[in-house]
Amino acid sequence: MTRAHSTGPVPYDLSPAALPRRIVVNLVRWCRVLLRPPRAQKALSPWPTAGVIAMIVLLTAIVGSMFLLDTSATAWARGLPRWFRPVFEEITNFGLGSVFLYPLGVVILLLAAICSPALPRLMQGVVVALAARFGFLFLAIGAPGLFTSIVKRMIGRARPYVGGYDNPFLYKPFIWRPEYASMPSGHSTTAVAAAIAIGAVWPRARPVMWLYALIIMFSRIVLTAHHPSDVLAGAVVGGLGALMIRRAFAARRLVFCPRDLRPYPWPSWRRLKALALHVVPGREQASREPRV
């Protein structure tokens, strides 16, 4: 008895019944890539001296701010005109982690849904390349934010004017109450992590992203939601976390070159268009119909 061999292309199944399993399988497979041992640890560039010095300066500034700046800064913020607060209450919402993580999560799920052996190998590579980049952004922004959400409640530093007065040295560790979750600032963590992560994959976006991060950090002081030292601590956590995630990806030759940490090129528009023709129902077939 002979076995029949199919010579036609594998059908691309976009039925709702096939999507959940495909999404789970692809997400698990992609996570395993991140858990594998580094492939380029020796080739990975060392931490730059300027970065280490900047981190030391920031840590010194945090301690100095607690003694010299925190009380005066919050008193200054309380004396600002009343119209300042409504404006910055709207601005500060753009420092929430959900602003980045929800869209990134949706994109990653969509990529997991369309990645299939039925796609040509080149198209599979395009999907995986996109998933690696958006996965990096999700982790580089989300991981520092999660760390801050846990640590700030363990530290238990009081927010400005808790109890009617400002005491930068009021702490109640492990109390797990919002009014005692001031250090580090979660908004600052997210803003700086996003500035570094997005700037890493899109270098031209760095000026805009750093302007965004500074505005978000400033808004937390204006609203007396945090002391300046809280904001600086959040910046340190967000920056260091995003940089560590970038090095972890580079060590596995994902998204970044391990020698200089430069981002690999994104898939070209031509390949993205070809991918769309394969996954959008009817597009590929319509593109092959002769024109009259």
More confident residue, 185 or 36: 185
Q: What is the 3-state secondary structure (H, E, C) of the chain?
A: CCCCCCCCCCCCCCCCCCHHHHHHHHHHHHHHHHHCCCCCCCCCCCCCHHHHHHHHHHHHHHHHHHHHCHHHHHHHHHCCCCCHHHHHHHHHHHHCCHHHHHHHHHHHHHHHHHCCCCCCHHHHHHHHHHHHHHHHHHHHHHHHHHHHHHHHHHHCECCCCHHHCCCCCCECCCCCCHHHCCCCCHHHHHHHHHHHHHHHHCHHHHHHHHHHHHHHHHHHHHCCCCCHHHHHHHHHHHHHHHHHHHHHHHHCCCCECCCCCCECCCCCHHHHHHHHHHHCCCHHHHHHCCCC
Note the pLDDT of residue 48. Answer: 72
- 123 neighbors 278 (Cβ within 8 angstroms): yes
Note the pLDDT tens digit of each residue in 256-282: 999 889 999 999 899 888 888 777 765
Enter the pTM of the model: 0.88
Q: What average pLDDT does the segment 66-88 reach?
A: 91
CATH number at residue 188: 1.20.144
Note the pLDDT of residue 259. Answer: 87
- Answer yes or no: is 230 within a domain: yes
- Answer yes or no: is 12 within a domain: no
Q: Which domain holds residue 196?
A: 48-278
More confident residue, 47 or 5: 47
pLDDT of 1 strictly over 50: no
Note the pLDDT of residue 290. Answer: 37
- Answer yes or no: is 4 within a domain: no
**Cβ burial, residue 27 (10 Å; 0-12/13-18/19+):** middle
Alpha-carbon span 279 to 261, nearest angstrom:
32
Note the pLDDT of residue 83. Answer: 85
What's the token pair of residue 102?
A: 């929800």
Residue 54: pLDDT band (50, 70, 90) is: confident
Note the pLDDT of residue 225. Answer: 94
- Answer yes or no: is 69 within a domain: yes
Q: What average pLDDT does the segment 232-237 reach?
A: 95
- Answer yes or no: is 53 within a domain: yes
Question: How many structural domains is the chain composed of?
Answer: 1
- Answer yes or no: is 219 within a domain: yes
- Answer yes or no: is 22 within a domain: no
Note the pLDDT of residue 192. Answer: 97
What's the token pair of residue 25?
A: 């399988």
Average pLDDT taken over every residue of the chain: 87
How many residues in total does the chain contain? 292
- Answer yes or no: is 119 within a domain: yes
**Low-confidence winner among 12-26, 132-146, 265-279 (lowest mean pLDDT):** 12-26
**Low-confidence winner among 6-20, 51-65, 164-178, 268-282 (lowest mean pLDDT):** 6-20
**Cβ burial, residue 14 (10 Å; 0-12/13-18/19+):** middle
Note the pLDDT of residue 285. Answer: 44
